[in-house]
Amino acid sequence: MTKVNFPWIYVITNAIWIFGLAVVLAAFGWHEFQAHSRKRKLGEFLGGDSFLKPLYGGLTLVAGGLALSVRGVILKGGFAVLTFGFLYLLVRRCRSTGGKALGVDDEKPLQAPSAAGCASSGLGNLSADHDAHPTEEGAEAGEKRPVKKANR
C-alpha cells in the first residue's frame, strides 16, 4: 500500500481567497440590507468605513490567496502587487479613522429582534399585512388603543 500525499497547501491557499470573497460578499449584503431597511440609497453606505474596511480586507485576502495559488510567475507578481495595494488602502483607511468602525452616519446598526422579543411583543407571526391592524390590546381585556407609528 502506497502513501498518497494530499496537497494541503493548495487547500489552504484556495481557502484564503474563498474566505476573502465571502467577506466582500458579506459586506455588500449587509450594507444593502442596511440601506433597504433604513429606506436610503445604497451609495450612502458604500462610501463609509463600515463598508470599505471589510472590502479592502476581503480583497487583500482574495488577491493574496490567488497570488499563493497560481503557478505562473507573472500572475503571482500581479496578484502580489494587488495584495500590497489593497493592504496599503486598508492600513491607510484604518489609520485615518483611528480604528473607528461605524458607518456613514454613525448610527447604531440595526439589530435583528430575538425570538423571545418577537413572541412577547406579538411579532411572532409577521405577515405582509402587518399594518392592517392599527390597534393593540391594552391592560384590560377587550380594551384597544391606537398604535402610534414610528417616524421613519
- Confidence (pLDDT) at 97: 75
In a domain, 70, yes or no: yes
In a domain, 128, yes or no: no
- Confidence (pLDDT) at 115: 53
Q: Which three cell numbers stand for residue 79?
A: 496578484
Q: What is the pTM of this model?
A: 0.62
The C-alpha cell 461605524 sits at 102
Q: How many secondary structure helices (H) and strands (E) does the chain include?
A: 5, 2
Domain range holding 31?
8-97
Look up residue 142 and give its DSSP letter: T
In a domain, 121, yes or no: no
Cβ neighbourhood burial of 73 (10 Å; 0-12, 13-18, 19+): exposed
Q: Which residues contact 40 (CB under 8 A, 6 or more apart)?
A: none
- Cα–Cα distances in angstroms (integers) from residue 31 to residues 38, 47, 48, 133, in the given order: 10, 10, 10, 31
Residue type for 64, please? Answer: G
In a domain, 88, yes or no: yes
Spell out the per-residue pLDDT of the chain, length 152, in tens.
Answer: 678 888 888 999 999 999 999 999 999 999 999 999 999 998 888 888 889 999 999 999 999 999 999 999 999 999 999 999 999 999 999 988 765 554 444 455 555 555 554 454 444 444 444 444 445 555 455 555 555 555 65
Number of domains comprising the chain: 1
- Confidence (pLDDT) at 148: 58
Rg (CA), the chain: 24
In a domain, 61, yes or no: yes
In a domain, 130, yes or no: no
In a domain, 48, yes or no: yes
- Confidence (pLDDT) at 105: 45
Find the helix packing angle between 49-69 and 8-37, rounded to 10°. Answer: 160
In a domain, 74, yes or no: yes
Q: Which three cell numbers stand for residue 133?
A: 391592524
- Confidence (pLDDT) at 61: 96
